[in-house]
Amino acid sequence: RRPDSRPVRSPARGRALPWNAGYAEIINAEKSEFNEDQAACGKLCIRRCEFGAEEEWLTLCPEEFLTGHYWALFDGHGGPAAAILAANTLHSCLRRQLEAVVEGLVATQPPMHLSGRCICPSDPQFVEEKGIKAEDLVIGALESAFQECDEVIGRELEASGQVGGCTALVAVSLQGKLYVANAGDSRAILVRRDEIRPLSSELTPETERQRIQQLAFVYPELLAGEFTRLEFPRRLKGDDLGQKVLFRDHHMRGWSYKRVDKSDLKYPLIHGQGRQARLLGTLAVSRGLGDHQLRVLDTNIQLKPFLLSVPQVTVLDVDQLELQEDDVVVMATDGLWDVLSNEQVAWLVRSFLPGNQEDPHRFLKLAQMLIHSTQGKEDGLTGEGQVSYDDVSVFVIPLHSQGQDSNGP
């Protein structure tokens, strides 16, 4: 089956997404039975809780108090189970985490004590000196929500005898800011008329080399004598014994030479270059959700200790941008970015949007067009042969609609 015969799928046109965002996806070219990418989006209704007389948290007004919006992409591996669980769970974890700190979110400055009681008269000054702002509580809530969701996935997969993991890329709009939380190798960029701004960076065995090597240095037993912590330009072999070869250890950003001994011939903790880099020969990402049971093939060596579920969070102050009609955030799984650069995606956005301002489905069509551009269509852009055989999922989020209510649920 040629990849270009795979269908590009989108939600039914009647179902508007928050902010009239566009979404499209394509299933991989028979790499797996199911689409291992999953997506979720919706309103984030944060209720207000108040500190009750019993020093217990009571939900006093169950109606929503703060409203945010949420878009998320999950790229599964080892089956779709973790990605499906994440798509069904993470927004609830996040809502719960945000509700737990909502009093701090709406204060001019987060109070030292969530109760608002001031135990030390200079408490506000201590908070001020640390530079703690409401946005730090949202970042903290995102960090906690990813971890909580990871625990839920671990329990659910174990209980149902399933396996798998997924990356997670989440955009949350709240109080005039857009938070982008990333754990894995998906990517979000802001595209404006005169600007391309990355809103996430990929977290892979290559970009997190020092953290991963450091852990293996501290806990050598995690490698069970089967792997070497050191990085070499290629896997070493018998002929290299006794030679001085280029290497890097956990504390090094530069390179040096060491004399090769037998233990250096083991398989490397991180092996391969760029998109091919693998952790313990197994995994291409270093952060994500799930993978609690994942082991190196035919061994007892676990991957999970090397993986982080906590995301990297960046904050875009949307209220500070002088927004223009065609300013969008493009979020996509690695299948898109493997074949299109940020510049190519921006070029496609800028070519398409200005001529289609009247079309209510323009962001949907743009998402579909971006996916088509990964399928080797001759569009004068990517050239032939630039084909993604991976799952690809894309959100196009128009920032200009912010605040205007979408016509969806």
* Residue 248 touching a second copy (CB under 8 A): yes
Handedness of CA 18, 19, 20, 26 (dihedral sign): negative
* Residue 243 touching a second copy (CB under 8 A): yes
* Residue 40 touching a second copy (CB under 8 A): no
* Residue 55 touching a second copy (CB under 8 A): yes
For a second copy, the closer CB: 131 or 380: 131
Q: What is the total residue count of the chain?
A: 409
Q: What is the pairing mode between strands 227-228 and 267-268? A: parallel
- How crowded is residue 381: how many other Cβ atoms within 10 Å of its Cβ? 14
Dist CA 237 CA 217 (whole Å): 23
* Residue 120 touching a second copy (CB under 8 A): yes
* Residue 123 touching a second copy (CB under 8 A): yes
DSSP 17: P
For a second copy, the closer CB: 261 or 405: 261
* Residue 398 touching a second copy (CB under 8 A): no
Dist CA 48 CA 65 (whole Å): 6
- How crowded is residue 143: how many other Cβ atoms within 10 Å of its Cβ? 18
* Residue 54 touching a second copy (CB under 8 A): no
Dist CA 75 CA 71 (whole Å): 14
Of 26, 44, 138, 223, the residue at the interface with a second copy (CB under 8 A) is 138
For a second copy, the closer CB: 242 or 355: 242
* CB of residue 50 to a second copy, shortest distance in Å: 13
Residues binding a second copy: number (CB under 8 A)? 56
Of 16, 66, 106, 127, the residue at the interface with a second copy (CB under 8 A) is 127
Alpha-carbon distances, residue 67 vs 47, 137, 172 (angstroms)? 9, 16, 11
* Residue 58 touching a second copy (CB under 8 A): no
Q: Which region, judged by CB under 8 A, interacts with a second copy, from 22-30, 124-132, 288-296, 319-327?
A: 124-132
For a second copy, the closer CB: 63 or 239: 239
Q: Which region, judged by CB under 8 A, interacts with a second copy, from 69-77, 118-126, 341-349, 370-378?
A: 118-126
For a second copy, the closer CB: 142 or 345: 142
* Residue 115 touching a second copy (CB under 8 A): yes
Torsion, CA 149, CA 134, CA 197, CA 166, rounded to 10: 0
Which one-letter amino acid corresponds to residue 4? D
For a second copy, the closer CB: 8 or 270: 270
* Residue 142 touching a second copy (CB under 8 A): yes
Which one-letter amino acid corresponds to residue 344? Q
SS3 category, 18: helix
Q: Considering only CA atoms, which of 115, 109, 105 is closest in space to residue 47?
A: 105
Residue 227 contacts residue 267 (beta carbons within 8 Å): yes
Q: Which region, judged by CB under 8 A, interacts with a second copy, from 58-66, 138-146, 319-327, 350-358?
A: 138-146
* CB of residue 122 to a second copy, shortest distance in Å: 8
Dist CA 235 CA 266 (whole Å): 8
Under rule CB under 8 A, which residues in 70-109 are in contact with a second copy? 97, 100-101, 104
- How crowded is residue 235: how many other Cβ atoms within 10 Å of its Cβ? 14
Token readout for 167 is 């990356």
Dist CA 215 CA 219 (whole Å): 6
* Residue 141 touching a second copy (CB under 8 A): yes
* Residue 66 touching a second copy (CB under 8 A): no
Dist CA 322 CA 133 (whole Å): 23
The mark string for 277-296 relative to a second copy (x by CB under 8 A, - otherwise) is --------------------
Of 1, 2, 13, 251, the residue at the interface with a second copy (CB under 8 A) is 251
Alpha-carbon distances, residue 320 vs 177, 190, 315 (angstroms)? 9, 14, 12
* CB of residue 148 to a second copy, shortest distance in Å: 12
* Residue 193 touching a second copy (CB under 8 A): no
Residue 76 contacts residue 82 (beta carbons within 8 Å): yes
Dist CA 173 CA 321 (whole Å): 14
Which residues make up the interface to a second copy (CB under 8 A)?
55, 97, 100-101, 104, 110, 112-115, 117, 119-120, 122-123, 126-127, 129-130, 132, 135-144, 147, 218, 233-234, 237, 239-240, 242-246, 248, 251-257, 273-274, 308, 310, 312-313
